[in-house]
Amino acid sequence: MNYHELTITIPAPFRDTLIRRLVSIGCLGVIEQDDSFLAYFPETVDRASIRNELSIVQALLAKSGSVAGLSVHSSSIPDQDWNETWKKGFVPIDVGERFTILPTWEKTKQGRINLIVDPAMAFGTGHHETTRSCLVLLEKYAGRSDKENLLDLGTGTGILAIAAKKLGFQRVAAVDTDLLAVDATRKNADLNEAEGIDIREGSIAELNETYSFILANIISGVLVLLAPEIAAHLKTGGIAVLSGILAGQDDEVLEAMTKAGLKLIKRYPDGKWISLAVGR
């Protein structure tokens, strides 16, 4: 069987949403690149359903006021090339001092905290700058908190929640408004033998606990809206890492956090992205 390879360029904050939607209609896998990603479909997939998902996400993009748009290039590739192309896109990467992100078929690295992602699930693989920044800042500041409990807000693939569990947080909660993300997180938690993560569909407002650490890799607009909730759910002495912020939007996010009573600990740039560590 031949495959369709779509090269899709889309602003990063919308990438995961689109990938999830494509997976739900039969996308076999993705390979993430800098500003775009490759998505693979069997030739038999209904093209109208792909177009439909693309237009839904395009509408979301337009509604968000994003200046960058979505563009798609399609080509057909023969079966045998596909597996190789696919695997080449997933090399293990070291992140921070201790983490290594690797696909299921690679051997885990001794002496590192291995985070295994299953590319066949076609979700974000942690190769994105904002995910990496969260891991770096989590590792850097985990020791400053009491490590009692952590909230991964907008967990996506669950990668940050899994990392937190492996770093020794006693209780980890992972929430996402997208049910497909919740399913992916469950599968990834199993794959990583990260037990006991409280995985739920929903958002922060429905949670009644305060946390030692909060990770929120969402987008600036959502972070601004959620600032009061994030502050209210952070323990005194707790730390929140906020990511998914494009350079130039960091002041706006920080202002919302400051208004909610949080203080800047660290501004951490990576490419065109800025992550913020704030404390209470």
Binding to ligand SAH, residues 9-48 (CB under 6 A): 16
Q: Phi, psi (5° rounding) for residue 125?
A: -105, 10
Assess 153 for contact with ligand SAH (CB under 6 A): yes
**Which tokens sit at 214?**
């909060």
Q: Among residues 2, 52, 74, 177, which is the contact residue for ligand SAH, using CB under 6 A?
A: 177
- Residue 121 touches ligand SAH, criterion: CB under 6 A: no
Nearer to ligand SAH, 66 or 85 (CB): 66
Strand partners, 247: none
Give the binding-site size for ligand SAH (rule: CB under 6 A). 20
Residues 205-244, interacting with ligand SAH (CB under 6 A)? 217-218, 222
**Binds ligand SAH (CB under 6 A): choice among 181, 199, 214, 278:** 181
Q: Are 214 and 150 in contact (CB under 8 A)?
A: yes
**249 forms part of the interface with ligand SAH (CB under 6 A):** no
Detail the DSSP E strand segments found in the chain: 3-9, 29-32, 36-42, 71-77, 93-95, 99-103, 113-117, 149-153, 171-176, 198-201, 211-217, 234-246, 263-270, 273-279
Q: Does 154 bind ligand SAH (CB under 6 A)?
A: yes
In terms of Cβ atoms closer than 10 Å to its own Cβ (0-12, 13-18, 19+), residue 267 is: middle
According to CB under 6 A, which one of 8, 159, 163, 240 is a site residue for ligand SAH? 159
Bridge partner list, 152: 174, 215
Question: Would you say 96 or 154 has its CB closer to ligand SAH?
Answer: 154
Report the interface residues with ligand SAH, using CB under 6 A: 16, 124, 131, 134, 153-157, 159-160, 175-178, 181, 203, 217-218, 222
